[in-house]
Chains A and B, each alone.
Chain A
């Protein structure tokens, strides 16, 4: 068992939760989301984000609108849908439970 694999697995588990959390405060376009994720050292490469966003959108958790950009092609601004908000709430509960569980077990 490699430590890298296990780390990746753990990060992967919370990635969706983090993306939804970032969008909780309002809409954002991928580069902004990436910056925050990078700051949190959750992802290293941007390529990871696009398939995830597309899947979340297709699952109905996110929606987007186009906006013109001064530097480059039009951008997709993503935001949470109603379903997305509820989904996020449940994830938050689960996350809190997990944190508790880790605290208890690692004492």
Chain B
């Protein structure tokens, strides 16, 4: 047992939050999740060995599940994945030093939950669409279709570039529409960066618990309107990952 350990911090919560016995922490074997309390605040933590890297899929999943599970019952301020401190004293110092900010942020998240709406273009429908509205691209498509890739490389690059640019414009427009249609039902919205060249609109929404059903209905309507062109997914309810940037401690 000479192995050195640290405390992995998941998030900051009001002091009355109690981790349930079945909460699974990061690490292998998973650490037991406990709360380190200080005044009105607490941090959800678990012990991790300092040797050996973190970040296996199971670690990320455990981190997210713990935070999302907590967010379902209490406000929580996610702390960036991978934050490890020396021990309970350090956690208490941290809570002490930023008490007011953390408390204010938690107030803001009381009764609110995050959702992510993520659209992905259906490639055939999207490309068919682009070719239909861009005669030059359609012409290039005729030239490359069924031809060996090596023989038509310049045309292919040009065609792909046109499609790519068209997708970018559509994505921007789609992002605007997404915020326009759903933003009114949310307390706050945050744009999300695309992670795939077929990404359509994508944004995070901070939603009041008592408007949740209304919000989800609106997302369904949004998805329905676009069903042939965009595959829309709704992630959540989640901890407010996309809404904590204002509370970063980097000064």
Whether A associates with B in a native complex is no
